[in-house]
Amino acid sequence: MGAPPPPPGEPPPDRPYRDPYIDPPPGQSPPEGEPWSPPPRGGPQYGEAPPGYRGGPGPVPAPLGGRWRRLFAGIVDSIIISLISTPVTWQTWSHVLDEERGAWARINLSQTFFLAVVAFLYYWLLQAYWHGQTIGKKIFGLRVISETGERLAVGQAAIRQAVMAVLAWLCCLWIIDLGWILIDPRKQAIHDKAARTLVVDS
């Protein structure tokens, strides 16, 4: 007996990749007994951008992650990073002289460098070795991939986070970095464009 036929929309075992001219898009198989008509060659295929799209080169490899979910995922990750760094930063104080009053003032100095290192390692290691996901992205069904649709590389994850960290330290450029998601057709922040990455549904 031969091998059972693959599920509708899935390629056969001897061809482990989808061909948009042979296999229908997942979830869009025709009714049983009816043939599937592939799209005309030369036109936009499943996952590709429509004509006139100028958001970036190549096809969109998966549905892009929603902006609100990215925001909430970032909030969750920020809380986790704060909890990790709190044992070191919560009681860091320094005494400085207030010249106007002529008295010493006790000022809380956050360990910003330590916090930045924790944040960099958190995002870099998790996204590089945990299928492009942080805990926040995992909760909200998101992951980071290469623009080509391949898994996020270790170096690519490092570049993405390094650019994000540098822009966050340069005054208010982090606002421009994250705000770019609102106007970019691929919902890419500046650090995504630098690393050639996309945030997509997982």
* Domain parsing of the chain, residue ranges: 67-201
Instruction: State the pLDDT at residue 27.
Output: 60
Instruction: State the pLDDT at residue 47.
Output: 43
Query: Would you report the helix, strand and coil content of the chain in percent, each value rounded to 5?
Result: 40, 10, 50
Instruction: List the Cα angle 69/192/78 in 5-degree steps.
Output: 45
Instruction: State the pLDDT at residue 55.
Output: 44
Q: Determine contact, residues 128/197, Cβ cutoff 8 Å.
A: no
Report the SS3 class of residue 9. coil
Q: Determine contact, residues 151/131, Cβ cutoff 8 Å.
A: yes
Instruction: State the pLDDT at residue 39.
Output: 54
Instruction: State the pLDDT at residue 14.
Output: 58
Instruction: State the pLDDT at residue 44.
Output: 46
Instruction: State the pLDDT at residue 156.
Output: 93
Kindly state the tokens that stand for 56.
């970036």
Kindly state the tokens that stand for 32.
């049983």
Q: Tokens 């910003």, residue?
A: 112
Report the SS3 class of residue 184. coil
- Block mean pLDDT (10 aa), the chain, length 202: 58 57 60 59 46 48 85 93 77 64 64 79 93 93 90 92 87 82 90 92 86
Instruction: State the pLDDT at residue 144.
Output: 93
